[in-house]
Structure 1
Amino acid sequence: MKAKVAGRFAALALCVGASAAAAKDTQLNVYNWSDYIAKDTIPNFEKQTGVKVRYDNYDSDDTLQAKLLTGSSGYDIVVPTSNYAGKQIAAGIFAPLDKSKLPNLKYLDPQLMALVAGADPGNKFAVPWAYGTTGLAYNVNKAQQILGKVPLDNWDILFKPENLAKLKTCGVSVLDAPDQMFAAALHYIGKDPASTNPADYQAAMQVLKKIRPYITQFNSSGYINDLVGGDICFAFGWSGDVVIAKHRAMEAKKPYKVEYYIPKGGAPVWFDVMAIPKDAKDKDAALQWINYIEDPKVHAAITNAVYYPSANAEARKYVRPDVANDPAVYPPADVVKTLFLLKPLPPEIQRLQTRLWTELKSGR
């Protein structure tokens, strides 16, 4: 779900049983979030299969959805967030998966797949790429200097205007993702994060309007570099993005710490899933790509690079200990119990959410 960081790469695939010569003429077109893959994922796939990969990036689900709704996306693999994928599946946008060509699905965690089934009943159309949470990111040194020694794992930091007003002096960024922001605001005021009551969204909007003057930017990708560079001190962001920023700041020997916190009492959890558009030109290559990604060692390498866990239970064995044991990457069981999954919303609620978000961003 991640706004996730910027710079996604391309995917590829080769028809099962095709000759090596034919594979060289095959191009797999992948559309994915930025900073969401290991450096060697694509080269290794191309070397292994002979398939060339075109890898393009986006930084919002709305951008992807607009392209899919044209009916001629030009891509063989896309990676929507589960709540968007649920609506797209219902709209008949994706081709069903031929699981006979996906033997590595056996490694997927049944409990996590049961959650994904909330958007994809029967797990017929989508395979998880990664999952994560949405929470609070800090330049800890600057934030504590301004706020004092207050608990940083608290939604009050984001939703109480007096707190955000203080943090504005060093920069505040929130995701340009209305589904994430409204879900968090609804949860904060005691409403169902997946509410279908328009009045609940108006109530959440009042909370968001009060903090709007203190938001420096709406950004779903660049906030990582801004955290590393010290240009912002607070963000509402995706877990893996913030952990990337944390490690980059450490590598650059910055005189401050970047940390991610899952707010107490619950936070959004999401899955980004691989799916094959019906208009895909090479569905066999797309299936080979999905099966390749679900190789435990391949997916572990991705997690080690981007700090987002996969639903591949076997892959965790190959994840570096410092990543596998980081609660920002793999939340402990007691925290997982408090997380809530974003669900598909009816079209009228999504339109309301989008309209309110546009008003909020414009400052009206």
Structure 2
Amino acid sequence: MWIWSNQDWVPFQTVSTRCLILQPLQKLQDCGVTVLDSADEVLDIVVGYLGGDPNGEDREMLKKVEAQMMKVRPYYRYFHSSNYINDLANGEICVAMGWSGDVFQAMARADEAGNNVSIQYIIPREGTQIWFDVMAIPADAPHPENAHAYINYILRPDVMAGITNYVWYANAVPAANSLTDPEILADPAIYPSDEVKARLFAGVVKSQGYIRQETRSWNRIRTGQ
């Protein structure tokens, strides 16, 4: 997944593995470990951690995932998909599972605050899920030509480079590279190497029956019951 940490509390070599989230060290309990509130993403990652197919629908494996998460549930401070940004920037937590773009917001906020919080973003060495922001046009959109014009504008190399330079998100427009901050292009956390990308997987849409079982498992994990 995406793991980021306060380096003053957790050294780089420790956080480079998903074990930190899925087998949390007891000493991290007091400083704070948080996990995304996203059933499909988190559970798929744990399936992979346990040796299964993240994109499969093995219901027996899902039971094993739930059992594993229940073991470590007491060490998590909370499940949330955005609160960790400010909490990490302010030094309120020491390890978070989160989305890659958020880490750079946290880094920027910590830098602006001048609070000496040093944040490190890590792609776990075991691999994790890869994600993409997508622009799509509804089939019944009343003005599709306007939508196409907007998308074409966003995909202009100069515009896309400006977005990347501002938010520190990777983009898929090669022609924008010459206009992108070299520091961003050289950051392996933003533009992973081919070796790292080979260990990533993209999520797939599961059956409704499996999604319902995931939801039930996730609710039990979140509540610890």
TM-score (norm 1): 0.59
Aligned-pair distance for 1:275?
Answer: 1.1
1:295-314 to 2 correspondence within 5 Å?
295-314=156-175
Q: Which residue of 2 aligns with 1:138?
A: 5
- Residues 171 and 232, structure 1, Cα contact 8 Å, conserved in 2: yes
Q: For residues 41-95 of structure 1, what are the alpha-carbon distances to aligned partners after superposition, in whole Å with 9 as ceiling and x for unaligned?
A: xxxxxxxxxxxxxxxxxxxxxxxxxxxxxxxxxxxxxxxxxxxxxxxxxxxxxxx
**1:143 counterpart letter in structure 2:** V
2:47 corresponds to 1:186: yes
Q: Give the distance between the partners of 1:183 and 1:316, measured in 2 at CA.
A: 32
2:68 to 181, 203, 207: 207
CA offsets 1:224-248 (integer angstroms, 9 cap, x no match): 1111111111100111111221233
- Which of 243, 247, 264 does residue 108 from structure 2 map onto? 247
Deviation at 1:173, TM superposition (A): 1.5
Aligned to 1:330: 191
1:343 maps to 204
> In the alignment, does 2:31 pair up with 1:170?
yes
- Distance in 2 (alpha carbons) for counterparts of 1:354 and 1:300: 38
Q: Is the 2:5–2:94 Cα contact (8 Å) retained in structure 1?
A: yes
**Is the CA contact (8 Å cut-off) linking 1:246 and 1:257 kept in structure 2?**
yes
1:1-364 matched pairs, under 5 angstroms: 134-144=1-11, 150-161=13-24, 163=25, 165-364=26-225
CA separation of 1:279/1:222 partners in 2, compared to 1, >3 Å: closer, same or farther?
farther
User: Does the CA contact (< 8 Å) of 1:241 and 1:307 recur in 2?
Assistant: no
Q: Is the 1:243–1:259 contact (alpha carbons within 8 Å) kept by the matching residues of 2? A: no
Q: Alignment partner of 1:249: what SS? A: helix
Q: Are the counterparts in 2 of residues 270 and 341 from structure 1 also a CA contact under 8 Å?
A: yes
AA aligned to 2:102 is D
SS at match of 1:326: coil
SS in 1 for 2:98: strand
The DSSP-based 3-state class of the residue aligned with 2:2 is strand
Structure 2 residue runs of 5 or longer lacking an equivalent are: none
Q: Does the Cα contact within 8 Å between 2:3 and 2:121 map onto a contact in 1? A: yes
TM-score, structure 2 normalization: 0.93
How many Å apart are 1:285 and its aligned residue?
A: 1.7
Indicate if the aligned counterparts of 2:37 and 2:81 stay in contact, CA closer than 8 A. yes
CA distance in 2, matches of 1:316, 1:232: 35
List alignment gaps of at least 5 residues for structure 1. 1-133
Q: CA deviation at 1:272?
A: 2.0
- Note if contact 2:90-2:117 (Cα within 8 Å) is conserved in structure 1: no
* Deviation for aligned residue 1:279: 4.1
Aligned partners of 2:5 and 2:151: how far apart in 1? 35
Return the alpha-carbon distance in structure 1 between the equivalents of residues 58 and 27 of structure 2: 33
Helix, strand or coil for the counterpart of 1:263? coil
Name the one with the larger strand percent: 1
Q: Secondary structure at the match of 1:170?
A: coil
Offset of residue 150 of structure 1: 4.9
Moved over 6 A (4+): none
**What secondary structure, in the 3-state scheme, does the structure 2 residue paired with 1:273 have?**
coil
1:356, CA displacement in angstroms? Answer: 1.1
Paired residues of 1:268 and 1:340 also in contact (CA < 8 A):
yes
3-state SS of paired residue (1:224): helix
Contact 2:21 2:33 in 1 (8 A): no
